[in-house]
Chains A and B, each alone.
Chain A
């Protein structure tokens, strides 16, 4: 399989801060690689280097064989970029934004209008096409941003935290779009702070911390290393804590963690079906719960598991 993106030993310093400290990254053609890491891990810096916006201090990177420093123009004609913050002109309408970008990519006047109409349709923005982008909701703006990065039919797409700050509904919309693009053969480099997002979209995940790659693998491999999900229950009445503690313990085969201050019981689970079993058992016992949830490990827990230290710690 040929590589769409290959980076070797990328280094970028900002004064004393090492934003990238020797990063290697390989993205096979047509695949989705998720770069997972907390704020300041170097994710955005890596994307900016690979998008020719930033020169690395050391190391080299190629996109379909073109060096990002030596042949930026060739790289730029292959890539699409969707930044962390919507990078469209707020004053212009959705249609004007897309027409402008198409014109800059050498579409004819008519061709640019047709391309804009096609993308507006595809991203369900036709009704809002004439409105200024600043009046768009967060989800619409992100969709316009995605549409904007697709005007040139890129074969490699960088998505830098595409769903940060979006509500779950808008997030699902963005995910659906990304899946469709991948089905059409586009290579995607996705950065995210959410394990769930990387899990949903990526073929492989690379974990960044302090400008270094600290772990790599398929989502299921990483999750196994991190540990699975946890079940959390908070009975409505504190009197039920003992009973629920026993039910949860029987169900999971593990002694649940008990927090008497908050009235929260937590136990690790391997099988998500246990959630519905727990609901039934509580129901049978006539116990109501204020909180009942199956949750994925947080990024903090992922980091703890993968690096053996808390995120953001300096050691």
Chain B
């Protein structure tokens, strides 16, 4: 692809991202599942189990918030597939396809609009957490890096969702499959409880799960503590996710569109 074509593709992607953002603004309820659900988890786990698990709710909150952030971003990144699946079955997608634009522009647009969704989710979660008593123990620079890392994590794993979204027929099916994938992925980690009391097979997985490693990296950045190890592990997972799911997503997208 020549530079000019690439440039046009990105520009068309931005135009279509603008469309996605307009749609989020007009249907803010789209964001409900990715903003309200994590808050419910945050409140429920902190006040119900926090005392029992960490001695007091404040200490548990400090541990939980970075973990919930990962769960949140993972859920938000999974809506990309549902959205694209809904979109391709609509007449407006035929119009895009009959226009002289790059074939991948709608995909680029959907993923770029997703970034806005991630930012909103992260902000809402951090505000609620702060109201509940969560405090960043490090500094603004670490907070920014943590947010950036969470965005990157979402952008890497959204390709899995795009792949499933382009493979399955209906948005409902995509939603169902993604839910079944995400629930065990987030609970089979150290987001809610430490892994030490888990049975061996589960602990073995939970210790190396991308959710655990990313949660630990964010804990290090927001609460202080080891960063390098979990960060390196997270980055390996992110690269692997892109390496596996980006080509699959593109293949499924080109087949469908």
B-binding residues in A (CB < 8 A) = 51-53, 73, 76-77, 79, 81, 83, 85-89, 91-92, 96, 100-101, 103-106, 132, 148-149, 152
- Whether B99 lies near A89 (C-beta < 8 A) is no
Minimum distance in angstroms from B125 CB to a CB of chain A: 26
Tell me whether B123 is interfacial, beta carbon within 8 Å: no
B195 within 8 Å of A (CB atoms): no
Complex Cα spacing A73 to B5, Å:
12
B92 touching A89, Cβ below 8 Å? yes
A79 to B15, CA, bound (A): 21
**Residue contact A104 to B16, C-beta cutoff 8 Å:** yes
Looking at the assembled complex, report how far the CB atom of B18 sits from the nearest CB atom of chain A, in whole angstroms: 7
How many of chain B's residues have a CB under 8 angstroms from any CB in A?
22
Q: Which one, A76, A88, A92, A152, contacts B23 given CB within 8 A?
A: A92
User: Which residues from A are CB-within-8-Å of B16?
Assistant: 100, 104
Q: How far is the CA of A76 from the CA of B100 in the complex (A)?
A: 5
> From residue A229, how far is it (CB to closest CB) to chain B in Å?
36
Given contacts A92-B22, A132-B26, contact A100 B15 (CB under 8 A): yes
Q: Which residues of A contact B22 (CB under 8 A)?
A: 91-92, 96
Given B15, B94, B100, which contacts A81 in the complex, CB threshold below 8 Å? B94
CB-contact partner of B100 in A51, A77, A132, A148, under 8 A: A77
What 0/1 pattern do residues 156 to 173 of B give for CB contact below 8 A with A? 000000000000000000
Alpha-carbon separation in the docked complex, A294 to B96 (Å): 43
Q: A91-B23, A91-B27, A100-B18 are in contact. Are A76 and B99 (CB under 8 A)?
A: yes
A53 touches B15 (CB 8 A): no
Contact assessment for A87 and B15 in the assembled complex, using a CB-CB cutoff below 8 Å: no
Name the B residues within 8 Å of A81 (CB-CB): 94-95, 98
Residue B8 at the chain A interface, CB threshold 8 Å: yes
User: Does the CB pair B91–A152 fall under 8 Å?
Assistant: no
How far is it, in angstroms, between the C-alpha of A79 and the C-alpha of B16 when the chains are bound? 21
The list of the 5 closest CB pairs from A to B, nearest first, reads A87-B91, A103-B15, A76-B100, A77-B100, A87-B95
Q: A104 and B15: CB pair below 8 A?
A: yes
- A to B CB contacts below 8 Å, 22 in the list: A52-B98, A53-B98, A73-B100, A76-B98, A76-B99, A77-B100, A79-B98, A83-B91, A87-B94, A88-B92, A89-B19, A89-B23, A89-B90, A92-B19, A92-B26, A100-B19, A101-B95, A101-B99, A103-B12, A103-B15, A104-B15, A104-B101
Closest chain B residue to A78 by CB distance?
Answer: B100
Q: Among the listed B12, B98, B101, which residue makes an inter-chain contact with A51, where contact means beta carbons less than 8 Å apart?
A: B98
A-B CB contacts (within 8 Å), total count: 65
Residues of A within 8 A of B95 (CB): 81, 83, 87-88, 101, 148-149
User: Which chain A residue shows the least CB distance to B15?
Assistant: A103
Q: B4-27 interface mask toward A, CB cutoff 8 Å, 1 = contact, 0 = none? A: 000010001001101100110011
Asked if B97 is an interface residue, CB under 8 A from chain A, the answer is yes
Docked pose: A84 CA to B94 CA in angstroms: 11
* Residues of A contacting B26 in the complex (Cβ-Cβ under 8 angstroms): 91-92, 132
Tell me, in angstroms, the Cα distance from A216 to B153 when the chains sit together: 60
**Given that A76-B99, A92-B19, A100-B19 are known contacts, is A53 also in contact with B8, CB under 8 Å in the complex?**
no
A152 x B97 contact (CB < 8 A): no
Contact partners of A89 in chain B: CB under 8 A: 19, 23, 90, 92
Contact across chains for B97 and A53 when beta carbons are under 8 A apart = yes
Output the nearest chain A residue to B96 by Cβ-Cβ distance.
A104
Q: A81-B98, A132-B26 are in contact. List 13 more A-B contacts (CB 8 A).
A: A52-B97, A53-B94, A53-B98, A77-B100, A86-B91, A89-B90, A91-B23, A91-B26, A92-B19, A92-B23, A100-B16, A100-B18, A104-B105
Q: How far is the CA of A83 from the CA of B95 in the complex (A)?
A: 8
Q: How far is the CA of A58 from the CA of B79 in the complex (A)?
A: 39
List chain A residues, Cβ under 8 A from B23.
89, 91-92
Q: How far is the CB of A188 from chain B (nearest CB, A)?
A: 16
A132 and B25 CA atoms in complex are apart in Å by 12
Contacts of B15 in A (CB 8 A): 100, 103-104
Taken together as a complex, chains A and B put the C-alpha atoms of A91 and B23 apart, in Å, by 6
